[in-house]
A = this chain, B = another copy of it.
Amino acid sequence: MPKVGMKPIRRKALIDATIAEIGQTGSLDVTVGQIAKRAGMSSGLAHHYFGGKEQMLLAAMRQILTNLQLRVRTNLRHAETPLQRVHAIIEANLDACNFDPDVVASWLTFYVQAQNSAEAQRLLHVYARRLYSNLVVNLSHLLEQPHAEHTARGLGAMIDGIYIRHALEHNAPNRDQSVEIVRDYLDLQLSKIRDQ
């Protein structure tokens, strides 16, 4: 009995299972069998819907990046001034759901994957670029262009640094502390121009 339209359902289940499995094992050494089992299907079917393990990992990566982007957009919808928009971006990137251990572990593996996969590298590049340009666009209303770019780079580094620390230190700054650190940095950059 051929079921139709299973493709998106199966793919979704596999992507979720991939993230969950990476989160649980804490490494890229997840097997297709483990993922498929968690998703409630055979390993053969996983290949059928994704064509290979790398494709599955990339799909999981895309899902996480897409979620992040959605969060950014949602946050931006309620922001009106450039400053509010910068705050919205920071908070989206440090959103609670990104601190989900599964997601944090997945990020780490994406970095590793990017070392050997052009597509993974491209995806991470897109993420970094998007964060950077989002920040610059809004900061340039508040700061000189070079200063805006400088600040965007600093914010990006801080966000990634906080993130990576969460991947391994269980007593790393929590979400609220993290936001405070980053916003404080932003405030200082903004106050710098005003002081001069």
List chain A positions with a Cβ less than 8 A from chain B: 25-28, 105, 108-109, 111-112, 114-116, 121, 124-125, 128, 150, 153-154, 156-165, 167-169, 173, 177-178, 180-181, 184-185, 188-189, 191-192, 195
Asked if A116 contacts B168 (CB within 8 A), the reply is: no
Other CB < 8 Å A-B pairs besides A156-B165, A157-B181, A160-B160, 8 of them?
A109-B112, A115-B168, A124-B169, A125-B169, A150-B180, A154-B181, A157-B161, A188-B192
Q: Report how many copies the assembly holds.
A: 4
Count chain B CB atoms within 10 A of each CB in A154, A157, A173, A184 and give the residue with the most: A157
A121 to B27, CA, bound (A): 13
Complex Cα distance, B195 from A175, in Å, reads: 28
A-B interface, 5 closest residue pairs, ranked by CB to CB distance from nearest: A161-B161, A26-B115, A157-B161, A188-B188, A160-B161
User: Which residues does chain B contribute within 8 Å of A115, judged by CB atoms?
Assistant: 25-27, 105, 108, 167-168
Task: Determine the chain B residues whose CB is within 8 A of the CB of A161 once the complex forms.
Answer: 156-164
Q: Is the CB of B158 within 8 A of A154?
A: yes
Q: Kindly state the separation between the CA atoms of A164 and B181 in the bound complex, as whole angstroms.
A: 19
Q: A27-B112, A27-B115, A28-B112 are in contact. Are A165 and B173 (CB under 8 A)?
A: no
Judging by beta carbons under 8 Å apart, are B26 and A150 in contact?
no
Write the nearest CB–CB distance from A144 to chain B, whole angstroms.
14
Q: Is the CB of A27 within 8 A of B116?
A: yes
Question: What are 14 A-B contacts defined by CB distance under 8 Å?
Answer: A27-B115, A111-B168, A121-B168, A124-B169, A156-B161, A156-B165, A157-B157, A157-B161, A157-B162, A157-B178, A158-B161, A188-B188, A191-B192, A195-B195
Contact B112 A184 (CB under 8 A): no
User: Cβ of A195: which chain B residues have Cβ within 8 Å of it?
Assistant: 191, 195
